Amino acid sequence: MPYSFTQIEKDKGRVIVLVFFSLIVFYFLTALILYWSIKGFLILQINAESERTNIPYQWMWLYPKEMIAIVSVALIVGIGHWFFTMDHLVEKMLGALRAEALNPSDKYHRMFQNIVDEVSVATGGTPMEGVVIPTMAMNAFAVADFSGRNVIGVTEGLLARLTRAEIEAVVGHEAAHIVSGDCLSATVTTSLFELYNSMRIGLGEMISSSRSQGKKSDGVVYLSYGVLTAATFMGKILRMFISRQRELRADAAAVRLTRDPLSLSQSLYTISSRWRGAGLSGENLEAIFIVNPRFSRLDESQGFFANLFSTHPPVAERLSILLDMAHSDAKVLEKKFLERQNYPRTLAPETPGASLSLVNTSSEKNWIVNKDGQWQGPFSLLDLANPGFLQVDTWVKKLGSERIEQAFENTETRDFLWKKNQQQTLLCPKCRVSLFSEAYEGASIYRCQACNGVLVHENDVERIVIRQEYDFSPRIKEIAQKLYQEASKKLPHIDLTNANLYACPQCQHIKAKMPRMLYSLVYPVVIDKCSFCGFAWFDKDELEILQCMIEQADQKNA
């Protein structure tokens, strides 16, 4: 091992001690300036009363008592700040980044969880968790705290756009930060001040909005804004302690873990080419990301100041090192990048249940069923899906076969019942028949086999619009384009008559109607979203239109 554990422990400890020391110095200077200004102000007052004109400058001299008071205030505030920030640090960071826990029923999330576990094995069993940020951008980060909790996070865009090997390489890079311990020092360093940046931005907005209304804000507001601005500036200074070399070291260690320099260079190339995540919540915590979410000129340059204040080395430098290791060159990367944009995709299923494997055989109406002593039919298996219709002991007969069996005796109906029982019994809000759960773009959705509308949880909608497994028919593309263009002139009409609103299939017991709304003003697809459980109902094709619209807008921006 080129970088021994004792060396790492020493480095890690040194950075954290330095950061703590600077925190105390920061508070000492702040307290000193405040004290001077108050004292100066008071002396001016007294002098004005006694009408003395020559003001002695000795007041700037501090007595030992005053000095001790200032130092102890600085110590108390600094230590308080430190412990306040370090308490549940990982949760705070994840909150600032709007990261979410993994959903085990999601295909991409399961894969990501597996990859994190694999890399953890490669490090010899260092415990690591995975989280995702639901955004289209592509980036990855690692955070750790003193309690020994290590978390690796990626964005949904990264999961959707990179191959398994590339995601593995990225996770390897983040795991390398964790194993070497510089993840902890980087988390501590960035969190101390940058964590409160969102508070500063919020206050700034408050001040400007009250100013535009002609009102004056309190002095306290201005004071806290000033303190927070100083803190943000301090945060920038603290970046000195985060060496940009740590990214190069982590790249190298990632290659040692996953033995795949080409995949790592491909993922760096793709991330830095576009979608690196500017505007991401928590983008100011840039030091913990694999590539700086904001493109920064400082990062891409060399020299004294760049080395001192930037958090990431130039991407070109990282790529050339990795490509050297892989015995490859930049042309391969460009080729792969173009391939990725034009990969072959299958059309999204347009007929009901086409993606449901059990339905392939069962859409023919060839079953008759004995219900209440009467033979009824013929039905397809899907018709039988209606609640309470087919029970295990119902007598069934398949057309063309002589046998009359109970549903549990026949293999087809038994399988069907088994699969049906695994589903939640949600009913279509329009047709009142059972909704079938199916996998779509890696997430699970509930589809009505009669009207082809789908019920999707809002979290899954976010993921589905990011993923691009399916292509769309020209008809859908055309509708999406028209809707998108017309949205700038006139928004579509929403029918809000109470009688036409749907009841939420999930929250039926409280008889809640789902409010009808547009997905967003930019993407005006009409959806009915339950305000209790977050499930949204899309009529036939609407989900595909939304996906297609977002994809087209993304291509236009590229």
| C-beta of 116 vs 323, nearer to other proteins | 116
Q: Which residue has the tokens 């970088």?
A: 3
In whole angstroms, how close is the CB of 111 to other proteins at the nearest point?
Answer: 6
Judged by CB under 8 A, which stretch of 114-122, 129-137, 205-213, 378-386 contacts other proteins? 114-122
In this structure, what is the dihedral angle of CA atoms 531, 532, 537, 543, given to the nearest 10 degrees? Answer: 70
Is residue 114 involved in binding other proteins (CB under 8 A)?
Answer: yes
Residues in 249-278 that interact with other proteins by CB under 8 A: 257, 259
Binding mask 154-183 for other proteins (x = CB under 8 A): ----------x---x---------------
Query: What residues pair up with 446 in beta bridges, in sequence order?
Result: 437, 455
Alpha carbon distance 152, 114 (integer Å): 13
Alpha carbon distance 327, 402 (integer Å): 68
Alpha carbon distance 397, 404 (integer Å): 5
Return the residue of 2, 125, 279, 303 that touches other proteins, per CB under 8 A.
125
Return the residue of 89, 119, 280, 390 that touches other proteins, per CB under 8 A.
119
- DSSP labels, 449-468: TTT--EEEEHHHHHHHHH--
In whole angstroms, how close is the CB of 171 to other proteins at the nearest point?
Answer: 11
| DSSP character at residue 513 | B
Judged by CB under 8 A, which stretch of 113-121, 227-235, 313-321, 494-502 contacts other proteins? 113-121
Judged by CB under 8 A, which stretch of 111-119, 202-210, 230-238, 393-401 contacts other proteins? 111-119
In whole angstroms, how close is the CB of 457 to other proteins at the nearest point?
Answer: 18
| C-beta of 45 vs 357, nearer to other proteins | 357
In whole angstroms, how close is the CB of 256 to other proteins at the nearest point?
Answer: 9
Return the residue of 15, 122, 252, 479 that touches other proteins, per CB under 8 A.
122
Alpha carbon distance 100, 135 (integer Å): 11
| C-beta of 123 vs 481, nearer to other proteins | 123
In whole angstroms, how close is the CB of 412 to other proteins at the nearest point?
Answer: 12
Is residue 294 involved in binding other proteins (CB under 8 A)?
Answer: no
Return the residue of 8, 24, 102, 111 that touches other proteins, per CB under 8 A.
111
Is residue 121 involved in binding other proteins (CB under 8 A)?
Answer: yes
Residues with Cβ within 8 Å of residue 59, at least 6 apart in sequence: 39, 40, 43
| C-beta of 125 vs 279, nearer to other proteins | 125
In whole angstroms, how close is the CB of 321 to other proteins at the nearest point?
Answer: 22
In whole angstroms, how close is the CB of 259 to other proteins at the nearest point?
Answer: 7
Is residue 45 involved in binding other proteins (CB under 8 A)?
Answer: no
Nearest residue to 158 via CA among 119, 132, 176, 178: 132
Is residue 124 involved in binding other proteins (CB under 8 A)?
Answer: yes
| C-beta of 118 vs 551, nearer to other proteins | 118
Residues in 312-371 that interact with other proteins by CB under 8 A: 357, 360
Return the residue of 78, 85, 96, 107 that touches other proteins, per CB under 8 A.
107
- DSSP labels, 368-432: EEEETTEEEEEE-TTGGGSTTTS-TT-EEEETT---EEETTTSHHHHHHHHHHHHS---B-TTT-
In whole angstroms, how close is the CB of 122 to other proteins at the nearest point?
Answer: 4
Is residue 110 involved in binding other proteins (CB under 8 A)?
Answer: yes
In this structure, what is the dihedral angle of CA atoms 502, 505, 508, 512, given to the nearest 10 degrees? Answer: -40
Q: Answer whether 398's CB lies under 8 Å from 367's CB.
A: yes
- What stretch of H or E contains 347? strand 346-347
In whole angstroms, how close is the CB of 345 to other proteins at the nearest point?
Answer: 16
From first CA to last CA, the distance across the chain in angstroms is: 42
Judged by CB under 8 A, which stretch of 46-54, 105-113, 153-161, 537-545 contacts other proteins? 105-113
- By DSSP bridging, strand 129-133 and strand 150-155 are parallel
Nearest residue to 266 via CA among 332, 204, 184: 332
Query: What residues pair up with 376 in beta bridges, in sequence order?
Result: 369
Q: Answer whether 227's CB lies under 8 Å from 241's CB.
A: no
| C-beta of 116 vs 385, nearer to other proteins | 116
In this structure, what is the dihedral angle of CA atoms 539, 541, 547, 552, given to the nearest 10 degrees? Answer: -130
Is residue 68 involved in binding other proteins (CB under 8 A)?
Answer: no
Q: Which residue has the tokens 């490090």?
A: 123
Size of the site for other proteins (CB under 8 A): 21
Judged by CB under 8 A, which stretch of 87-95, 117-125, 245-253, 471-479 contacts other proteins? 117-125
Contact set with other proteins (CB under 8 A): 1, 107, 110-111, 114-115, 117-119, 121-125, 164, 168, 257, 259, 357, 360, 439
